Amino acid sequence: MNIDKVIKHLEENFDKDLERVREFLKVPSVSYTGEGIQETATNVKDLIEEVGGNAEIVPTDGHPVVFGEIDEGNEHTLLIYGMYDVMPTDEDGWIVDPWAAEIKDMPQFGPCIINRGAVNTKGPLGAFFNTLRAFKKVNGKLPVNLLFAVEGEEEMGSRHFPDFLEQYKDKLSKAEAVLFPFFEQDEVGTPSLTLGTKGLLYFELISKGGEWGGPKSRGIHGSFNAWVKNPAWRLVKALSTLVDNDEKIVVENFYDKVSPLRKNEREILNKQIEEGLFDEEVFLENYDVDKFKYDGEGIDVWEKLFSQPQLNIDGIYSGYTGPETKTLLPHVATAKVDVRMVPHMEPDEVVDSIRKHLDKHGFSDIEMKVYNKYYWSKSSIEEPVVQAMIETYRDMEKEPQIWPINPGSAPYYVFERYLKIPYVTGGMGHGARQHSSNEYCTVEGILDFEISMARFFENYLKQVEKK
């Protein structure tokens, strides 16, 4: 394997390769509306076949998954996880056509592609194939065998991805580890690496008029609250039993399985805080927050972000919420709530504890409608695939910021739960404004990303052979 030649090829062919990324971005693929989903799935299939793979568009009960395989008789096999869907573009403020992949100069970053999916994640996915083509051109083959599982419903919660994994378990079981190619550099160039993701439980609590009182089928005149109870009050009273005044969660058994950070990860985190790679004051300033839930500083507060679960009100709604005044006794009140679960919390057990808590406090009438359950997932820093990514960043003169866990959530647990293999997300490159107007990635970062993917393969083989 001649990495230097591959990199040289990537550099020399970048103008052409950049156009390939732009072409890929220009086709909409909005999972919420279905726009361009089939066409983009076909484009992904074609990209896999172009580098010598076999690919098929696998139907699911939702949008299809593109499965692919490039078996070149190598000793090692990686699974490439990807998503070809993106969010809608109905936000205000786009300064360009969100599907024109225009290149614009941005003050801090120089030339950038502005397009839906530029960073999340059709930019990196498209660029990844540039690296693969370079390997084929220069070396005739890829350094590792690859499997592909590229889904079209990530932005809708990957609802049918587990079904696919179940169905393709045997084929996917050839993989030793999973790579999710992504532009991981932040605004100042520091790449970050997460050793897992928290789980997500998303549910709605719904209070409606019923046997306990309250109007059952429609809002009624506000003045009747003198003798008719109000579902909004009932929801407020039920919710208020779940946390104390400091927002500490007081649901029985909620914390039963909460495990502290792994010792080595806590040490790495502490070291990075001391080195200034993590700065809580910068967080407070960026997000316009005066203080944290917890006292202290440095590791004392940072570890909470990673080690603590949450019970967050994402939204609450009842009755009249327009301007000025309108009196109303509403018949329904709802709260959308998410729980972020740390290892080793189980979503079904959390649902159960909250349900029991509500019942015990006399709120058995309040409906709990569960929308999503993502398990937490965890990769060890010792895994070759993780070490390979860290080494790649160092090769490219970047010390990564290592997060013990992503406080957000993603469906990566599926790899652990279904395939029992570790995964890593990564790559050089920078982009931002995902889910917002003017999502972008830097042009320079695309080349860095392509090079980092080549180096990653090299490092992976080193690491896995060392083990």
For its own copies, the closer of residues 220 and 268 by Cβ is 220
Amino acid identity, position 297: E
Q: Residues 6 or more apart from 198 whose CB is under 8 A from it?
A: 309, 340, 341, 342, 376, 405, 406, 407, 408, 409
Residue closer to its own copies by CB (options 180, 393) is 180
Least distance (Å) between residue 327 CB and its own copies: 5
Minimum Å distance from CB 60 to its own copies? 18
Q: Which residues pair with 106 in a beta bridge?
A: 110
Q: Choose between 236 and 381: whose C-beta lies nearer to its own copies.
A: 236
Least gap, CB of 307 to its own copies (angstroms): 9
Least distance to its own copies, CB of residue 147, Å: 30
Task: Write down the least CB distance from residue 157 to its own copies, Å.
Answer: 7
371-to-156, 351, 368 alpha-carbon distances in Å: 11, 11, 10
Nearer of residues 3 and 201 to its own copies, judged by Cβ:
201
Residue whose CB is less far from its own copies, 221 or 271:
221
CA dihedral 367→372→378→383, nearest 10 degrees, is 170
Q: Which is nearer to its own copies, 59 or 296 (CB)?
A: 296
Residue 8, Cβ density class (10 Å: 0-12 exposed, 13-18 middle, ≥19 buried): middle
> Phi, psi (5° rounding) for residue 402?
-105, 115
| C-beta closer to its own copies: residue 92 or 397 | 92
Compute the distance between CA of residue 326 and CA of residue 336 in angstroms, rounded to an integer. Answer: 24
Please report how close the Cβ of residue 86 comes to its own copies at its closest, in angstroms.
Answer: 16
For residues 279 and 33, give the distance between their C-alpha atoms in angstroms, rounded to a whole number. 40
Residues 6+ apart with CB under 8 A from 454: 3, 6, 7, 10, 131, 134, 135
Shortest separation between residue 7's beta carbon and its own copies, angstroms: 35
| Order of all β-strands in the sheet with 65-70 | 54-58, 65-70, 145-151, 77-83, 177-181, 423-426
Cα(429)–Cα(21) distance, integer angstroms:
14
Burial of 408: CB neighbours in 10 Å, binned 0-12, 13-18, 19+: exposed
> Crossing angle, helix 122-139 and helix 37-50, to 10 degrees?
20
The nearest distance, CB 362 to its own copies, in angstroms, is 7
Smallest gap from Cβ 99 to its own copies, in A, equals 23
Closer residue to its own copies, CB minimum distance, 131 or 406: 406
Indicate the residue among 114 and 239 with the shorter CB distance to its own copies. Answer: 239
* CA–CA dist 113, 99 (Å, integer): 10
CA-nearest of 65, 96, 104 to 81 is 65
Q: Supply the minimum distance, in Å, between the C-beta of residue 464 and its own copies.
A: 32
Give 17 or 151: the residue with its C-beta nearer to its own copies. 151
Place of tokens 């052979």: 465
Q: Burial-class residue 5 by CB neighbours within 10 Å (0-12, 13-18, 19+).
A: middle
Could you tell me which of 51, 25, 41, 56 has the C-alpha nearest to residue 130?
Answer: 51
**Pair of tokens at residue 282:** 């910068």
- Nearest approach in angstroms of CB 224 to its own copies is 7
Helix (H, G, I), strand (E, B) or coil at 87: coil
Q: Give the residue with the Cβ less far from its own copies, 158 or 387.
A: 158
* DSSP letter assigned to residue 419: I
Question: Which one, 60 or 225, has the nearer CB to its own copies?
Answer: 225
Rounded to a whole number of angstroms, the minimum distance from the CB of residue 295 to its own copies is 11
